[in-house]
Amino acid sequence: MQTETHNRNWETLKAECLACTRCALSETRTQVVFGVGNPESEVLLIGEGPGQEEDIRGEPFVGRAGQLLDVMLASVGIKRENIYIANIVKCRPPNNRDPLNIEQDACIGWLREQTKLMRPKIIVCLGRVAAMKIIKPDYKITSEHGQWIEKSGFWMTAFYHPAFLLRDPRHKPDTFSDMKSLESKMREICTKTLPD
């Protein structure tokens, strides 16, 4: 019963979001990238916005950065289909520029609705843009990545963005240890979304 209501609300939200024209990114997108994975998961990952590959395929993190993300998640036994992955803005910013504040503010309501329905226990921001929007405006990814804070009933952290790791692989070991800490946090507080 609970699940049916949940699914109906989720599907309604998704249908509304796929038709969204709340900001100008709707004019240049191929399609809205709503999110991927299991909406009943206890773990939510939040990126910045779709890139070219995501805009074409309609799924978050499927380009080169996404492939690196999958490898890093797999290193601690986490599969994409067992978590949920979404973005701050759901349409691609032209030329992969950072999403503007006005676009983030227009779009964040969709993510808030998704979060309200999911009720995840853990939220992981991928990169600076998501961390500044979700955790705090002055988030410093270099010094604060991988640290856990409890906020609004969620355990939150941020990792380096996988696209940044592709540009600067020296930081990969940091993210592998951050992944380990995600694995530990999941074993500590999750009841259904557990690493392999």
Which residues ranging from 85 to 124 are in contact with ligand URA (CB under 6 A)? 87
| Spatial contact of 41 and 78, defined as CB atoms under 8 Å apart | no
User: Minimal distance in Å, beta carbon 6 to ligand URA?
Assistant: 24
Is 158 within 8 Å of 125 (Cβ atoms)? yes
In the complex, minimum distance from the CB of residue 49 to ligand URA, in angstroms, rounded to a whole number = 6
Q: How far is the CB of 2 from ligand URA (least distance, A)?
A: 29
For residue 151, count other CB atoms closer than 10 A to its CB. 12
> Looking only at residues 104 through 123 of this chain, which bind ligand SF4 when binding is defined by CB under 6 A?
106-107, 110
37 counts as binding ligand URA under rule CB under 6 A: no
Closest CA to 146 of 170, 181, 183, 122: 181
Shorter beta-carbon distance to ligand SF4: residue 89 or 126: 89
Q: How far is the CB of 133 from ligand SF4 (least distance, A)?
A: 13
Nearer to ligand URA, 81 or 188 (CB): 81
Which residue in 188, 179, 173 sits closest to 158, CA to CA? 179
- Residue 69 backbone zone (phi > 0: left; psi -120 to 50: alpha; other: beta): alpha
Question: Does the footprint of ligand URA cover residue 54 (CB under 6 A)?
Answer: yes
Q: Between 46 and 182, whose beta carbon lies closer to ligand URA?
A: 46
Here's the x/- map for ligand SF4, 24-43, by CB under 6 A: it reads as: -xx-----x-----------
Question: Site residues (CB under 6 A) for ligand SF4?
Answer: 17, 20-23, 25-26, 32, 89-91, 103, 106-107, 110
